[in-house]
Amino acid sequence: DQQVKQNSPSLSVQEGRISILNCDYTNSMFDYFLWYKKYPAEGPTFLISISSIKDKNEDGRFTVFLNKSAKHLSLHIVPSQPGDSAVYFCAASPTGNQFYFGTGTSLTVIP
């Protein structure tokens, strides 16, 4: 039972343009959300978080948007850079302890 879904397995974007990665969840009890980036042979690296009391959080080129009514989360990367090419996972939790991860979206930024 996949409670967190990333329906796009892959995404290609030109350098300098916006990358939008999407994530849907089913559990209305989820209050904490994270985005991670993963390079091959490495563990996931934390990118940005948001809690359900907010609908937007921004950190440099990365912005996460949360639409609680739609149970939808998105990550915007502006401008996209070749070094952003990686697999991106969204994760959600009701408590901030046990997180449920999506299956990931592989982002390729084309120079």
Token pair for 66: 């949360």
Q: How far is the CB of 75 from another protein (least distance, A)?
A: 14
Sketch the per residue contact string, 73 through 102, with another protein: x for CB under 8 A, - otherwise. Answer: ----------------x-x---xxxxxxxx
49 vs 74 by CB, closer to another protein? 49
Q: How many residues bind another protein (CB under 8 A)?
A: 23
Q: How far is the CB of 15 from another protein (least distance, A)?
A: 27
Contact 6, 23 (CB under 8 A): yes
Contact range with another protein by CB under 8 A, out of 10-18, 32-40, 60-68, 74-82: 32-40
Q: Please report, as ranges, the residues that interact with another protein according to CB under 8 A.
A: 4, 32, 34, 36, 41-46, 49, 89, 91, 95-104
